[in-house]
Structure 1
């Protein structure tokens, strides 16, 4: 289950926000209905204000909206793209080889350290 990440679940280096969407309707003072893309069809389109973040428009800011292929249970599979760095963690009696992995739907800042043996086993 390590390579499967669920929509909306926070991990240490995963981003919290999915994208910018238009507000269709203000249902109550704290509830908004959003215009979601067809890829997020199974996600309920009414959100509490605590789940939203204000977008300040900037003409130089260009957003790229990559489409995710979501499974039936709103999860998607992360695949490694590149190994950025190699590191050995030294403990008292042994050394653990680690690799810094860049994942498919993540930025360079969100790369994670994984065990080299696990990466060789799961992705030969």
Structure 2
């Protein structure tokens, strides 16, 4: 009772109940809390609001014990969202510079890292735009 567990959802292949389908489908959802035991082999789980359309009693074979890990905590920065649900990307630094030679002109490019993005998500921009 009250223990955090993970719910195995991999047997529902091809269904889009949990948002993704196919190879990208997650194997486990959670952590979820056990509310009570029903019989010898079933448990009632506390489901989040987006999963309320699913019946909340599950067999023991679909439940896995959750071992808390400090790496599971995701830290994020708040993004200021405007009224039209967009945000302004702020350039943090220039990672690289490149001069691309075309047939009759040369174009200088700069690889820009934006705030709230990782290094692999950096993009090449024209130096004149920055």
Normalised TM-score (structure 1):
0.51
CA distance in 2, matches of 1:57, 1:94: 59
- Once the two structures are overlaid, the 10-residue window that deviates more, 87-96 or 61-70, is 61-70
Query: Partner of 1:81 in structure 2?
Result: 92
Q: CA deviation at 1:24?
A: 2.5
**Of residues 40, 49, 59 in structure 1, which corresponds to 2:69?**
59
> RMSD between aligned alpha carbons?
2.3
Which of the two has higher C-alpha Rg? 2
May I ask how many residue pairs the two structures share in their alignment?
Answer: 72
Q: Distance in 2 between matches of 1:23 and 1:88?
A: 51
* Whole-Å separation in 2 of the counterparts to 1:101 and 1:80: 7
Structure 1 pair 57/118, CA: closer, same or farther in 2 (3 Å)?
farther
- For 1:23 and 1:95, locate their aligned partners in 2 and report how far apart those are by CA, in whole Å: 55
TM-score, normalised to structure 2's length? 0.49
Unaligned runs of 5+ in 2: 1-46, 55-65
2:104 counterpart residue number:
93
Specify the SS of the correspondent of 1:63: coil
- Aligned equivalents of 1:111, 1:66: Cα separation in 2: 18
Q: Greater relative contact order (Cα 8 A, min sep 6): structure 1 or 2?
A: 1
Q: 1:72-120: CA deviations, max 9, x gaps?
A: 111100011100000011111111000000101211111100000111x
Gaps of 5+ in 1: 1-21, 30-55, 120-124
* Between structures 1 and 2, the one with greater strand share: 2
Q: Which residue of 2 aligns with 1:107?
A: 118
**Structure 1 residues 114, 84: CA separation in 2 closer, same or farther (over 3 Å shift)?**
same
SS at match of 2:78: coil
